[in-house]
């Protein structure tokens, strides 16, 4: 296998990692506030199509990226209205959002299928660093969204760990009545978190349609939204572990289309003969295993899962 192919694999790992990390970061914010959002797949599709269309219209990838985030936030607001404000079941609302979101994205984008954007994100060759052998291309010659996402990851970590807002968000995900009793608004915190989560998912969708696979086709999100949901659990609801998990999941995603070209043996198995489909189940199987391990290890103490995840709260029922 050539050096270029290997570098290509790692470049793609970082990009796929960025894609699922960005979406999962949004899901993490929402889940830490106690709201399960199974609508990520639909939100990403909405982000992908709206980002792509705004990109076509304006020619500015950044305008497209932020428009997609805004659309994601709007869709998130819908989930918040139904499941937080009105207190309907989060599972049902999220699933319906995925079905409806995928449908709406397909409908809205039906006329732009096959079109090519005029401009898209270009790789930022960071002066001086991009030329470093291997590392330069993998880490310092990526599109700006990659670096923005790293920054967002740090920001989410900082807000959750080091600010009053983050403390309130973590508290509302553990116990809404307690958080309400000290004067924080449960609705505002949770709705805000779900909308922020939607914005992240929408932005991730735009990264997909503006850079990774420029264009729009129905079904282009292809389960990456569900991988983001899995990643949050795999990362035990912590931004740092989420980043590591994103690289691992990103690696499996990057490897899938390349498997056949790898002419090496691993543990006595010819890598090129592994089915890409079987590799694709790895993130999901790992997530189930991690979930079981978490429940086992934390059986005598609070699990890292937000205790109030999935539980609607109405002040009246305090």
Partner 1 sequence: MIRPVLARREKVIPGTQAVAFVVGIAVALVLGVVLLSTSGHSPAEVYERMFDSAFMGSDSLARTLERATPLALTGLAVAVAGSMGLWNIGAEGQMMAGATIAAGVAMVADGLSGPLLIAVMMVCGVAGGMVLMLGPALARSHLGVSEIITTLMLVYVAIRVVEWLETGPWKDPDSFGFAVIEPVPEQASLPGLFGRANIGTLIALGLLIVFWLAVSRTAWGYELRLAGSSPNTARYAGISLRRKILTALLLSGGIAGLAGAVQLTGSATRLESGLSNGYGFAGIIVAALALMRPSGVAVAAVVFGAVQVGGQSIQTLGVSSAISDILQAMILFGALVAAVFFNYRIRWTGPAGQLPGDEPEEADLAVEGA
Partner 2 sequence: MASENADHAVWLRGIEKQFPGVIACAGADLRVRPGTIHALLGENGAGKTTLVNVLAGVYRPDGGEVWVNGQRRHFHSPADAIAAGVGMVYQEFRLVPSLTVAENIVLGAAPRLLRSSEIENRVAELSAAYGMAADPSRPVWQLSMGERQRVEILKALWRDASVLVMDEPTAVLTPGEAAELGAALRAMADDGRSVIYISHKLDEVVAFCDEATVLRLGKTVATVEDLETVDRAALAELMVGSSEGGYVDRPPPIEAGGEALVLDGVSALSDRGLPALSEVTLTVRSGEIVGIAGVSGNGQKELAETIAGLRSPTGGRVELNQQDVTQTPPGARYRLGLAYVPEDRLGVGLAPKMSVVDNSVVRSYRSQRQGLMLVMAQCLGFCRDLVEKFGVRVGRLHDPVAGLSGGNLQRLLLGRELAEQPSVLVAAQPTRGLDVQGVAAIQSHLVAQRADGVGVLLISEDLDELLALSDRLMVMYEGRVVAELDPDAATRGEVGSAMAGQVSA
Residues near partner 2 (CB under 8 A):
161-164, 166-168, 170-171, 174-175, 177-184, 301-302, 307, 318
CB atoms within 10 A of CB 120: 18
CA atoms within 13 A on the CB side of 124: 9
Measure the CA–CA gap between 137 and 143, rounded to whole angstroms: 11
Q: Which of 239, 245, 257 is nearest to 284 (CA)?
A: 245
Among 35, 54, 73, 102, binds partner 1 (CB under 8 A): 102
Measure the CA–CA gap between 164 and 171, rounded to whole angstroms: 10
Work out whether strand 265-266 and strand 141-142 pair parallel, antiparallel, or are unpaired.
Answer: unpaired
DSSP letter assigned to residue 315:
G
Nearer to partner 1, 88 or 130 (CB): 88
**97 in Cβ contact with 84 (< 8 Å):** no
Beta bridge partners of 142: 124
Q: State yes or no: residue 82 binds partner 1 (CB under 8 A).
A: yes
Among 154, 155, 278, 307, binds partner 1 (CB under 8 A): 278
Nearer to partner 2, 133 or 318 (CB): 318
Q: State yes or no: residue 300 binds partner 1 (CB under 8 A).
A: no
Measure the CA–CA gap between 76 and 44, rounded to whole angstroms: 11
Which listed option, partner 2, partner 1, none, makes contact with residue 91 (CB within 5 to 8 Å by class)? partner 1
Among 1, 57, 60, 91, binds partner 1 (CB under 8 A): 91
Which listed option, partner 1, partner 2, none, makes contact with residue 152 (CB within 5 to 8 Å by class)? none
Q: State yes or no: residue 281 binds partner 1 (CB under 8 A).
A: yes
Which listed option, partner 1, partner 2, none, makes contact with residue 129 (CB within 5 to 8 Å by class)? none
CB 82, min distance to partner 2, A? 23
Q: Which of 152, 241, 176 is nearest to 35 (CA)?
A: 176
Which listed option, partner 2, partner 1, none, makes contact with residue 296 (CB within 5 to 8 Å by class)? partner 1
Count of residues making up the chain: 318
Which helix H or strand E contains 242, and what residues bound it?
helix 239-255
Name the residues that contact partner 1, by CB under 8 A. 36, 38, 78, 82, 86-89, 91-93, 95-107, 110, 218, 223, 226, 229-230, 233, 275, 277-278, 280-281, 284-285, 287-288, 291-292, 295-296, 299, 305, 310, 314-318
């Amino acid at each position: 296998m050539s050096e270029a192919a290997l570098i290509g694999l790692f470049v793609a790992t970082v990009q796929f990692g960025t894609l699922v990390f960005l979406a999962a970061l949004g899901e993490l914010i929402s889940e830490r506030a106690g709201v399960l959002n199974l609508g990520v797949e639909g939100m990403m599709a909405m982000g992908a199509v709206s980002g792509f269309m705004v990109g076509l219209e304006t020619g500015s990838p950044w305008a497209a990226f932020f428009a997609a985030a805004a659309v994601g936030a709007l869709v998130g607001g819908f989930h918040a209205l139904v499941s937080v404000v009105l207190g309907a079941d989060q599972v049902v609302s999220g699933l319906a959002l995925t079905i409806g979101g995928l449908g709406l994205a397909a409908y809205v984008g039906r006329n732009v299928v096959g079109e090519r954007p005029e401009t898209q994100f270009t790789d930022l060759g960071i002066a001086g660093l991009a030329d470093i052998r291997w590392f330069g291309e993998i880490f310092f010659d990526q599109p700006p969204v990659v670096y923005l996402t790293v920054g967002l990851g740090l920001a989410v970590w900082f807000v959750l760990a080091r600010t009053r807002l983050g403390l309130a968000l973590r508290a509302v995900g553990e116990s809404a009545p307690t958080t309400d009793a000290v004067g924080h608004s449960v609705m505002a915190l949770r709705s805000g978190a779900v909308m922020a989560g939607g914005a992240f998912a929408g932005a991730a969708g735009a990264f997909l349609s503006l850079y990774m696979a420029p264009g729009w086709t129905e079904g282009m999100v292809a389960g990456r939204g569900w991988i983001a949901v899995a990643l949050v659990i795999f990362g035990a609801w912590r931004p740092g572990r989420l980043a590591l998990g994103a690289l691992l999941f990103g690696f499996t995603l990057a490897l899938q289309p390349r498997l056949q070209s790898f002419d090496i043996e691993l543990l006595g198995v010819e890598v090129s003969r592994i089915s890409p489909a079987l590799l694709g189940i790895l993130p999901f199987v790992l997530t189930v295993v991690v979930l079981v391990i978490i429940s086992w290890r934390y059986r005598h103490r609070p699990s890292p899962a937000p205790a109030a995840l999935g539980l609607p709260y109405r002040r009246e029922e305090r």
